[in-house]
Homo-oligomer: A and B are copies of this chain.
């Protein structure tokens, strides 16, 4: 029997899981100046007209349109404060005036008003009417919008000081493994640095979740159980890594099964195929594989999908571009493979991808690539020289040249 017999694809697992898990995200009202990146919970409309009354559309002077109605008047006796006043871009001005002449068309304002010879003045010109910048009641942000700096400015301009957003999902993470030591410690024989906590924490921040990172738990059933209950009491979603496979101390999946439920153990997605997903105290729980690249893979396909589901949005997946394969990429029938790719531009500005192997290449090199690909189960083989779609993990201008 093969390792992947009867093991479902990640798409199939998510499809089935989302049939039974439909989060009803709560909303909260927060100050607009703390809302960068947050997701709008309900449609926003503007509260006021802007300009409130009217405003000059140019730096210049305000005059009385009637004076210019039929023909150009003799302005040599015009008096500042009587026949005209200063009115610059955005300024409101007295009701005595209704027309703006741009300052570029004014030769002098001393001893009467002197305008340029070829100036035409149409009564009512260069005036922004009430509501011409912002019209009261205008709909301009809808549910699901992720707030950008310009959206925050629009909210303020629309009269809002606070905004209703979808609450971020609180996601607890329990790193497990008796061999793990905290960051910055010097590893001794048999020990390994815990790099998953910082990975999970910052990955969660980037996808719009609120991380709750718990201390390392040794492979000890009592401590693991206690940590799971503690995590689920604090969080909306629980993540735990390690202990998902067939090792002697791989208690986690069994423990989740016993205290909660395992919806699916093993997914045809490598590395990290012993991933488990289920429910614990009625909350989603994901048991990620322990090795860092496997843990990353689970975050990238599974946890990201849970967070998108939380917000009821389509996946904010990595953008794809075309690249030339510098080596063959193994495509398997029975599982999807995450292949990390070093990207570079050649002399002709063509993008190339060098596949790494998470078996042969170092972990740090696999974690720091500019690109990646998830092969399609049973998809076409990718041969050296082929052009294929790669996921970008950096800005195109951050890809090196060779």
Contacts and interface: CB of A to CB of B under 8 A. Distances in A.
Interface of A: 3, 32-33, 36, 46, 48, 50-53, 59, 86, 88-92, 103-104, 132-135, 138, 140-141, 144-146, 148-154, 156-161, 177, 179, 183-184, 186-196, 198-199, 201-203, 205-206, 245-250, 290-292, 296, 313-317, 319, 362-365, 367-368, 393-398
Given A186-B48, A364-B154, A32 B198 contact: yes
Residues of A contacting B: mostly: loop
Given A134-B363, A156-B194, A363-B133, A149 B202 contact: yes
9 contacts: A36-B205, A52-B188, A89-B291, A91-B190, A140-B362, A153-B198, A159-B193, A161-B183, A313-B398
Contacts of A192: 50-51, 90
Contacts of A317: 397
A52 B397 contact: no
Contacts of A201: 33, 149
A393 B52 contact: no
A92 B189 contact: yes
A138 to B, nearest CB: 6
Contacts of A183: 32-33, 156, 160-161
B394 A146 contact: yes
Contacts of A198: 32-33, 149, 152-153, 156
A392 B24 CA distance: 30
Given A90-B192, A90-B290, A187-B48, A140 B365 contact: yes
Contacts of A51: 192
A136 to B, nearest CB: 10
A362 B51 CA distance: 11
B250 A397 contact: no
A222 B349 CA distance: 53
A202 to B, nearest CB: 4
A133 B191 contact: no
Given A192-B50, A205-B36, A246-B103, A150 B319 contact: no
A185 to B, nearest CB: 9
Contacts of A186: 48, 159
B88 A367 contact: no
B157 A247 contact: no
A220 to B, nearest CB: 15
B53 A190 contact: yes
A61 to B, nearest CB: 9
Given A90-B192, A160-B184, 19 more contacts: A33-B183, A46-B364, A52-B191, A86-B247, A88-B248, A89-B291, A90-B179, A91-B179, A92-B179, A104-B246, A134-B362, A144-B398, A149-B203, A152-B202, A153-B199, A153-B296, A154-B368, A161-B184, A315-B397
Contacts of A86: 247-248
Given A33-B198, A150-B367, A249 B140 contact: no
Given A48-B186, A134-B364, A152 B199 contact: yes
A15 to B, nearest CB: 18
A198 B89 CA distance: 21
A206 B191 CA distance: 38
Contacts of A395: 316
Contact of A368 (B91, B140, B292): B140
Given A149-B206, A202-B152, A248-B88, A190 B52 contact: yes
A157 B59 contact: no
Contacts of A202: 36, 148-149, 152
A364 B158 contact: yes
Contacts of A141: 368
